[in-house]
Each structure stands twice: as C-alpha cells, then as structure tokens.
Amino acid sequence: MTKLRGWKSPIAVLLGLTLLLGLTSVATAADTPEQIKEVRELLLNYHYGNPSERSLAINDIDQMIATLDDPYTEFYDEKEWKAFNSVLEKTFVGIGIVMREDKGSVYVDEVLEGSPAEAVGIAAGDLLTATGGKSLQGKTTAEIQQLLLGEEGTKVSLTVTRGGKKLSFIIVRKQIHLNAVTSSMLGDGIGYLALSGFTSDAATEVKKQLAELEKNGMKSLVFDLRDNGGGYVDTAQKIAGLFLENGVLAYMRDRDNNDEALAVTGTRKSYPLVVLVNGNSASASELLAGALQDYRAASLVGMRTYGKGVVQSIVALKSGGVLKLTIRQYLTPKEHKVDKVGLTPDVVVEDPASQLVKAYRMVGGHKVTITAKNDIVTMGDVRMAEPSAAFKNDKGVWYVNIRMGASVAGADLAYDADRHVFKLTKGTEARTLPSDDSHLVVKNGRTLVEVDFLKQWYPGLKYSVKDETLKLSSAG
C-alpha cells in the first residue's frame, strides 16, 4: 500500500484489467455533492492528463470522467468495487467449473479442485443440459455462466448428460478462489510457470512454486504471461526480484515529466529464461516483461503485447465509493514507451501451441509431444485453446494447423504474401508449399496441412490417433 502525496485515503497502485475484462462503472444512484467535489479535487490534483477546472465543472462524476478521454479512470460504488476487486483477486461465487463449446453444445472442460461441482460429482466431459428447469441447448458459455453465478449459499439445479444418461444435481454456490500461479515440468529439465494475474499473494506463490521446480531439477524456465491483464505494481516488483539483481523495474513519469525509479532488489537466475507474451499481456505483465527483456534476463516469445503503460491508484473516498485514476505513465529500464505501443517479442510466433513449443526448444528442450482434440491443445500439463488445431475430413484424413505441425517438427514457418507460398525452414533445409497446394485446407480462416504429407518431409515426426485425439511428437 502507498499513499498519494497530500492525500490520506488508502491507495493501492494498480496496473491493468479494466479494458481486458470489460468492466465498466454504471451509476446506480445519484452522485452526492460531497462525492462530486472529492472526485473533482482528486482529478485536478493527480490525474496524469492534468485536466482544467473548467473541463471538470460538471455535476456528474461519470460525465466528468468522460471528459478525460481515459478508459482507465473509473468511479465505483460499493457493489461495483466489490465486483472489480473480486476480478483482481480472482475470486467469484459459483459452482467451480470450466466450460467449453463444441458444435453448439457446452461441456464441462474442467472441475476445479475443492469446488461445489466436485463435491456433488460433476465430471469433465459432462454435457450441460439444463439448469433451473430451463434447457441449455443453444446457449453460449457466457450465457450459461450468468445462469450459474449467484449469491453465496444459494442453490442451483444442474442437469448434465453423461454416457447417454441424464444426471441431475443440486449445487450450493460458494466463493471460489482461482490460483493465479500454476507450474509443472515439461520434460528435458524444462520448468513451466504461468501467472494469470498480479494478485496480492501472487509474488509469494510464484516464489514458492519456483523453488519447487528448482528442487525437482529444473534447468531452465518458460514463464507464461499470456492473457495476463495486470494487477498490483508491488507484486510485479517482488516477482522481478526473483529474476533480477539490483536495478530498475521501470521509471514512473508523472504529469510534470518527473521520473521516479521503481527499484528492484534480488538475485538473477543462472538458468535460461523465456517469457511468453501475447496481445492480452498488459500493464503489470508488460512492466515485468519489459524489465526482463531490457536487462537481457529473458527473451520474449509470442506476439506484441497490449500496450497499457499507465498506472492507476485506487482511492477510497471519504464521501463513499472508490475512484481508480490514472496518475503516471511508465517506461522500461531503457526508457522505452509502452503505452499504446506495447512490447515487441524477441521472437515473434503466432498461435499458442507454436509459441510454447518454440519457447521450450529455445531453453534447451528437445522431444515435443502434443495432443489436439476439440480445439484444445495439450503439451505436458499445459492446456491451450487453439481453434481448428486439427481435424479429420470425411475420408478419414487428418490435418493439423500448419504452424503447429511445423513447430513440432522443429521447422520455422514463414508466409510470403506476395508469392502466396509457405516456407518451412529447418537448419539449412528450406521447403516451399504454395497456399493452393492440394495437401492444404483452410478451416475457419486457418491453414492446415495433411499430417501424412508433413511426415514425408520430416520423418522424425510421429503421430497417432485415439478417441478422436491427434497426438504429434518429434525429437526436433
């Protein structure tokens, strides 16, 4: 916790989440004169955009904030703040299942450990059929989620189909905390650690799981920050200290162009480190990844990041409610701007599975095995959504996403848009494939290649099929 100069309310310095998660402030009651005055004073004194008194001479908080042209500054009433804070800390009230859609139906993809769903016997693979006596046929995962959420301690009925039989359950909703940190060993001494949010306890958990990986013989690490929308600055600062020696995490620049160094004290790891990022890696994720990249403590693999390089503070108002306001911009240790620019990876790779395979090989991994089924790709214990990753045509021929297939085979893929040709390069060997080749198909906007054809080019590539699941492996 920190405080704004001259302000006595508690402040938490925050990076991220609002745009990525679609949270917005919706007024449920008229703003009081005291709230309007307090918000106006905060914006005048601290907002990064340095607004004028004239522009804020509006007796409505939402309209006042709208003049800032700042999507990250928001006012919350008590209920809205509770909802936002729940997202920030990854807590929600529900039954504890992860869902997936397949051909218009919604299935249970995962049952969270210790959840109400697990307690009553809901299982992965169950088809969601009805809730509250209403059919779920044709409903999306988002629509079903809204039906299953509710107040803690309330009951919800859920009917599923399993093995052709319908099973009905009564489930009591409870508060569930999602783990922001997960880790596993991928093989060849490669550790994998994923951080989905910079929650208040994430630094402690990262340190704990990192030590466990090291204890299990980890020789190098893939650190996954994909789809991480941000969180607390001090959490990013603590995590940076696990990988960097004394230095600067970032420079915080105020509206008067004064810079303040955000210091880091820690120990640099002796083993190789690759950080995975994508277009949803934002704010605190960019803060951490940018520092690791600038100090050459890690290489970034994936796609250009979101580009949210401004910092918010959370102010609990004396008059009621909470204001989240933008107070600073941040620059990387080498003073690169992040806001509306993002970070460019050292190695640009599209598609989740290809990104992980590339990172794994960059830190010394050799043999790769992945499976693909129902738009879900699995490598070790890591599961990734990848639409049209693989499919079987009506003649029984299997196809795989050309980028993913090439990555497993150990080849780099490039596309020449002028010549309409794919180029696959492995070592000194380069092969080309026209985009209209008969061994290629396009499905949902993605190009897939016939697995048997790819195997002819790369004999080390092996595959098998069981229960409509495609398994690909290669020593690279």
Give the separation between CA 120 and CA 212, rounded to whole angstroms: 32
Q: How many residues does the chain have?
A: 476
Determine phi and psi for 163, rounding to 5 degrees.
Answer: 60, 35
Q: Which residues are catalytic?
A: 283, 294, 308
Exposed e or buried b per residue across 135-147, where buried means at least 16 C-beta atoms within 10 angstroms of its C-beta: ebeebeeeebeeb
Instruction: Report how far apart, in Å, the C-alpha atoms of 79 and of each of 29, 86, 140, 316 are.
Output: 12, 11, 26, 13
Strands 273-277 and 299-302 come out as parallel
Place of tokens 């939402």: 62
Question: Are the C-beta atoms of residues 327 and 151 closer than 8 Å to each other?
Answer: no
Q: What is the DSSP secondary-structure string of 119-178?
A: HHT--TTPEEEEETTEE-TT--HHHHHHHH---TT-EEEEEEEETTEEEEEEEE-EEEE-
Give the separation between CA 72 and CA 329, rounded to whole angstroms: 12
Q: How far is CA 22 from the centre of its chain?
A: 14
Extract long-range pairs of 263-266: CB within 8 Å, 24+ residues apart.
264/237, 264/240, 264/291, 265/241, 266/240, 266/241, 266/242
- What region, left, alpha or beta, does residue 342 occupy, with left being phi > 0 and alpha being psi -120 to 50 degrees? left
Angle between helices 284-294 and 233-240 (to 10 degrees): 30
Coil, strand or helix at 202: helix
3-state helix/strand/coil string of 273-284: EEEEECCCCCCH
Give the separation between CA 159 and CA 161, rounded to whole angstroms: 7
CB atoms < 10 A from the CB of 394, how many?
Answer: 5
